[in-house]
A and B are shown apart, each in its own frame.
Chain A
């Protein structure tokens, strides 16, 4: 298969970006999208055409959340429930023109070309996306009973891989689906309840500080999420937030 690629090139966060056009040919239909970019880069290096295109990736099996690209106007490309690394060239037609862009959001500045800095997500997690436990021997399974319904919902929320597609898809660059997934995951389980009030407060405040937009309930996030995280998690986030308002102002350890 042959493709014409229009790729966003930008040396660093301060530089002015632009689209550059490259051609790749003889691409197998079984090739993944990232393998196709590898082939392009090999070509760019060997033929001294340009610097290889920078793009993020790690696991290449849909679990690490590193590989987000905006492809033909959709985060992770034109397919549902997959990450960019799980997208295959057979989803395109021979001769297609493909537009490839980085995530665009104020809170995710471009590092180089298609690579953006998603450490804002880490900062939100550091603010409260954890439970405090004692280290040492692991407790036996099932010592804390969890109802199946809650276990399932928590598990679904825990599927979020922090890729940032929800932010990129949102016209407001809101991180509500991500934060909702993280808050809901822990709030639904007994282990997460101890710090629930503090957690939601800290994570939401951090999210606002970091420059993510507000949620206007458009749900583009849900439509584009590779892990199909449901918008109900945003509702749960709002509920946890309101619950926290009534709980009084406890400081940690008070």
Chain B
């Protein structure tokens, strides 16, 4: 499990050559319109997250970041887990959207923007997780076969083994971000094997 979860500690080695050259690149100025724009948009997000706490609210109307983080985790665990199907994934997609709306309207971030604020950090990260969760779900919905570690219950053999669909899904997929709330664009890289025979792993014999 540690190996799986900590994969991001390891630098893909296609990046090494690129990074090695960066050593000679001097200090990059923050005095650019791009930087200002990015700073502005982060600040707006932060201000929006602070707003709920300033409103006059009923008791119990607001919730902590952790509350929403756990709720999102539960949706993913229940409906987008190792074993999933069209029904569970469609349900998850709706639930994620609803929870995200709820989050922006009722999350409570204490403290302020200028001082050290771990709750703000968590909130910004969770805001990203909503997008990521939606993308994972959309990708899982799109790939109707059982492949790798994942089992689409609609796609199985008679004796309950995973059933791949090489006809339609033999490609590596990358989804391109199109802005918040917009569906991502799919880019495919076909997998063409020249020297090996495609087979299916069998744990039974």
Contacts and interface: CB of A to CB of B under 8 A. Distances in A.
B66 interface: yes
B66 A42 contact: yes
A111 B13 contact: no
Interface stretch (A51-59, A69-77, A171-179, A219-227): A51-59
A12 B115 contact: yes
Nearest to A42: B64
Contacts of A137: 13
Contacts of B63: 46
Interface of B: 2, 6, 13, 16-17, 19-20, 63-64, 66-67, 108, 110-111, 115-116, 118-119
A179 B119 CA distance: 33
A133 to B, nearest CB: 9
Contacts of A11: 115
Contact of B16 (A41, A55, A136): A136
Contacts of A153: none
B170 to A, nearest CB: 28
Given A45-B108, A136-B16, A138-B13, A54 B64 contact: no
Contacts of A59: 6
A51 B17 contact: no
A51 B17 CA distance: 45
Contacts of B66: 38, 41-42
Nearest to A61: B2
A81 B6 CA distance: 21
A45 B66 CA distance: 11
A51 B115 CA distance: 12
A135 B16 contact: yes
A178 B160 CA distance: 53
Given A38-B66, A42-B64, A136-B17, A52 B2 contact: no
B68 to A, nearest CB: 12
Contacts of B119: 45, 52
B67 to A, nearest CB: 8
